[in-house]
């Protein structure tokens, strides 16, 4: 009961930033780069964490956190196991959305599009850079 009351009373005034057509970059990738540079500069925790939402073939949506591992005009990169639930979802429906939320900056970035596989070479290259424990974890899990 008290918890419900506390939740109802949670309130925050958002007044740090404005998004204006005069100052926003025309190219959204460029805008993302500016914002992401800022996130890195401030050394925020989990700076590259993003929520990835996918849809199953029965149109059931699922969201989870993954880590951004690169971006550019071709898109946003992350790595996962193709046999995971998200991997299976994306095989059936390549539409997905990404969401970044940087609370201290009072900022979210919403991205929608199609997911494509990276090349085998790029996946392998990334895998080889990972610490041994992470590589073992990737082998052991989907
Ligand atoms: C901070 C954080 C970062 C994560 N990064 C990744 C990632 O880069 N790739 C990944 O496959 N899972 C990552 N995970 C785990 C996923 O959130 C998820 O639990 C897992 O991939 C299984 O998801 P699925 O069953 O929907 O496929 C991360 C979780 C957290 C909390």
- CB of 126 closer than 6 angstroms to any ligand 1 atom: no
Predicted structure pTM score: 0.92
Distance 53 CA to ligand 1 centre (A): 11
| pLDDT tens track for 25-35 | 999 999 999 99
- CB of 90 closer than 6 angstroms to any ligand 1 atom: no
* pLDDT recorded at residue 43: 94
* pLDDT recorded at residue 95: 97
Phi, psi values for residue 59, rounded to 5°: 65, 20
Burial category of 72 from C-beta neighbours within 10 Å (exposed 0-12, middle 13-18, buried 19 and up): exposed
Using CA positions, which residue lies closest to atom 7 of ligand 1? 66
With CA atoms as reference, report the closest residue to 31 among 100, 117, 116: 100
Phi, psi values for residue 75, rounded to 5°: 140, -165
* Inter-residue contact 35 to 109 (CB < 8 Å): yes
- CB of 86 closer than 6 angstroms to any ligand 1 atom: yes
């Amino acid at each position: 009961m008290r918890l419900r009351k506390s939740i109802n009373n949670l309130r925050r005034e958002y007044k740090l930033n404005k998004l204006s057509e005069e100052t926003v970059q025309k190219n959204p990738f460029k805008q993302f780069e500016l914002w992401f540079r800022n996130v890195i500069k401030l050394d925020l925790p989990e700076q590259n964490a993003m929520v990835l939402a996918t849809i199953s073939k029965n149109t059931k949506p699922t969201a989870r956190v993954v880590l951004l591992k690169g971006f550019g005009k071709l898109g946003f990169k992350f790595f996962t196991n193709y046999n995971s639930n998200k991997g299976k979802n994306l095989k059936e429906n390549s539409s997905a959305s990404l969401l970044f939320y940087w609370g201290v900056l009072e900022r979210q970035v919403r991205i929608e599009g199609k997911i494509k596989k990276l090349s085998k070479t790029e996946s392998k290259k990334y895998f080889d850079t990972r610490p041994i424990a992470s590589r073992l974890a990737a082998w052991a899990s989907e």
